[in-house]
Homo-oligomer: A and B are copies of this chain.
Amino acid sequence: MTPSQNIKTFLETGPEYLPSVSVDCVIFGFHERQLKVLLLEFKHTKAFALPGGFVFKDESTDEAATRILWERTGVKDIYLEQFHTFGEQNRGNWDVHKATMSSHGFELETNHWLLQRFISIGYYALVDFSKVIPTPDIFSDIGGWHDIHQIPTLILDHNRIVEKALTTLRLMLDYKLVGFNLLSETFTMNELQSLYETILDKKLLRANFQRKMLSMEILERVEKKFSGKAHKPPYVYRIKKTT
Chain A residues near B (Cβ < 8 Å): 18-21, 55, 57-62, 64, 82, 84-85, 87-89, 117, 119, 121, 171, 175
Chain B proximity of A42: nearest CB distance (Å): 26
Q: How far is the CA of A62 from the CA of B119 in the complex (A)?
A: 12
Contacts of A19 in B (CB 8 A): 19-20
Q: A18-B20, A55-B87, A61-B85 are in contact. List 9 more A-B contacts (CB 8 A).
A: A18-B119, A19-B19, A21-B119, A57-B117, A59-B89, A60-B87, A61-B87, A64-B87, A85-B121
Q: How far is the CA of A21 from the CA of B55 in the complex (A)?
A: 12
Q: How far is the CA of A58 from the CA of B117 in the complex (A)?
A: 10
Contact partner of A18 (CB less than 8 A), chosen from B64, B84, B117, is B117
Closest 7 CB pairs of A and B: A61-B87, A19-B19, A85-B85, A60-B88, A18-B20, A20-B20, A19-B20
Which DSSP category, helix, strand, loop or mixed, fits chain A's interface? mixed
Contacts of A62 in B (CB 8 A): 87
Contacts of A20 in B (CB 8 A): 18-21
Contact partner of A58 (CB less than 8 A), chosen from B57, B58, B87, B89, is B89
Give the residue name and chain of the B residue nearest to A55 (CB). B87
Q: How far is the CA of A89 from the CA of B119 in the complex (A)?
A: 17
Q: How far is the CA of A167 from the CA of B21 in the complex (A)?
A: 26
Q: How far is the CA of A19 from the CA of B19 in the complex (A)?
A: 6
Interface pairs (14), CB distance under 8 Å: A18-B117, A19-B20, A21-B21, A21-B87, A55-B87, A58-B89, A59-B89, A60-B87, A61-B85, A64-B87, A82-B84, A82-B85, A85-B121, A87-B121
